[in-house]
Structure 1
């Protein structure tokens, strides 16, 4: 990677990724694109990913060698607008893949634990297993995994990707995901010393702190392609936790913190269809994935950073 175009650059992942990429490759070599402007002093172009012609023009104009395609509607939002989710998530993806094919670019797009479904093994979910999701977001992600594989095998596009768990960050506010409670709980711990979870007690899901997620993207993209047996949709995770686990971790630093529940049936149904914990062995063996933050280390850092941010 030398010159990188990022779609959805001001979303949950992109807003932090563009700055990390800039630190490594130079700000002039990281081109941010989105349907709205954001806080970035490097090159920016307004791009709707459903407009394939515009995306192609920008990629060619800046002579990029890599596309990191992040533009998408997340799980809970996608359930409210399934047709729009398909148009953006799948239409945008095939447009970006076409640009990568035409310009011979390296390509990254994230999948998700949402690609799994209720018939997937819930404990230590294998890299290769049954995937029959029951959400539009999950259908999009499975379709996207297959599409990226197809563009690699049929056209030779250097596609790569990971299945992200829930991502936790102090920088970007929650953006419509089922796992967003794991971000909101830290904000409310600082502001209110209490939180009401829309996910019920005992619901385990995989999570990851954003610094680990960003490192994983770059590490995978820089990996020797000869080492990649799977290429796309690598399982990666750092933490498997339920709401009460977050509460206990927070109470180490804020003893008076309390957790209550008011379950949202839609998001709970989505959460129940996902694994409790996934197996990241393939990512570890093929490109050396290893998360640095466990629940306690992440909680300490989140609370410190948010306390400073919310002053």
Structure 2
């Protein structure tokens, strides 16, 4: 297995758009703390199913950028949006000085019907590249353990290749707790002739029940031994956090030593767990 070619390690953190003024206040405080401690290459902000958080995402992106001075990468999904709606959003981001976009297929909110001009993320990537040239650095999603809705692993790799060939610059993975899945995915990308930075997504472990529920929904595997270990702590949240920080820190260390080009932290709008891992890494 060859290590990825990019030598510099890049670190980033992900947020979701808050629903209240107090939530926004807390988010900006978190962003400021993470900026000072990690100095990330960028922050990213998620985009709700079917564009349901379009305004709150834009608001969060603008305020984080103004408050921290860091680059901010809004997520943009194509399901549920027309070409004109997407172009309006991208024009707004261009005028705001946004330089990076995380492109996704996305999902429709439950009980609604898609009115989309695009059905797949590679179509959105191509649309951005065709209409904005190199205005935006385009991130795409990668799934080392296979997208939960993919027919099979081979089809999922083909889908990823289509996104890359449509104009993606780099990728961020779904989180995982088995590093073999990540490096096996990297090997397959190299065999497919794909050469771009693929940054591991890192989910801190702070609450087992929430993590188990979310992982089951998004197709991220929690290895059986890890489930059993976390279950053994029951409601002892302090022990879960301590063990989780040690385990994820060790995983991150191995990923970086074996050639991963950086780390993308799913912060859940909190700084404590991410900084615990960061400080353990002594970067």
TM-score w.r.t. length of structure 1: 0.37
Larger RCO (CA under 8 A, 6+ residues apart): 2
TM-score w.r.t. length of structure 2: 0.39
